[in-house]
Amino acid sequence: MIARFPRLAATLSLGLAWAVALPALGQDQAEAPDRPLRIIVFGAHPDDCELEAGGTAARWAKLGHKVKFVATTNGDIGHHEMAGGTLARRRAAEVKRCAEILGIETEVLDIHDGEILPTLENRRTITRLIREWEADLVISHRPNDYHPDHRYTGILVQDAAFMVIVPNFCPDVPALRKNPVFMYSEDSFQKPNPFEPDVVVPIDEVFDQKVACIDALASQFYEWNPWLFGYLNEVPDSPEARLEWTRERALRRYGAVANRFRETLAEWVGDEAAQEVKTAEAFEVCEYGSQPSREELATLFPFFGDQD
């Protein structure tokens, strides 16, 4: 997968290619070797970031790096018995608890669930958030997701991928002097193109935090999703039983990610170690933004030791 990163030059004009080729990640970090990485993850709803990158965020945080999750909508229609401000406040409290569990920061934008659009105003909002965080790495949905909020969040982040380095766009927030690496979180959609992982992160060591996070998102995983998809009668009553039920479901979900991408996982941890990994999260490099080498990816995901 790594060999395809230079593909940007084949698809962009020479002028834009020069603009994207700003100082490399490694150069900045060589000047400030103790500077923590700064990662910002965008999800459409107050649970998407936690589901797609919660384990990796916990691993970054344990190493002292700075992670922020941003929900681009407030989730105010994501329930069958409540809606509006009451639900939005409940979901904001849930992701705040998740941030405490993971050791990160979180923010929920005040945009109605189901109503985000790729407008100029929203592009400015995303651009400002990336700049304010001084991001080295930006992660979001792919723009061919099933949910319109997911798709438009992905498009907005893609649209910001060049604008974050343009000083006269949103001049109230200083432009970044290097373009971050932009990546997609994992999904299973095949058309028009399937997800192709460039990094697969084992999350076994932080799996308890991941499960605790999902457990904290009670409105979604003990109420709304079970009602929506017809398995509400399967949800246990007691907190202890719910936690174990969630653990089993999460093990299946993130175990499937590890199994699906075990070949790529082996490229990072070796064949023998890859066979021992039970759960994982996966990420794909976006063609927009800085195009990292394998060494730069290893710097952004500092979990794998020395890479040959």
**Sequence spans of domains, the chain:** 2-202+281-300
Model pLDDT, residue 34: 80
**Hey, what long-range contacts does 13-17 have (CB within 8 A, 24 or more apart)?**
16/162
DSSP class of residue 290 equals B
Q: Distance from CA of residue 225 to its chain's centroid? A: 21
Q: What is the pTM of this model?
A: 0.90
Model pLDDT, residue 262: 98
Q: Distance from CA of residue 160 to its chain's centroid? A: 16
Residue numbers of the chain with a pLDDT score lower than 70? 1-33, 306-308
Model pLDDT, residue 19: 39
Model pLDDT, residue 33: 62
Other C-beta atoms closer than 10 Å to the C-beta of 124 total 17
Model pLDDT, residue 305: 77
C-alpha R_g of the chain: 19
Does the domain at 2-202+281-300 match CATH 3.40.50.10320? Answer given as yes
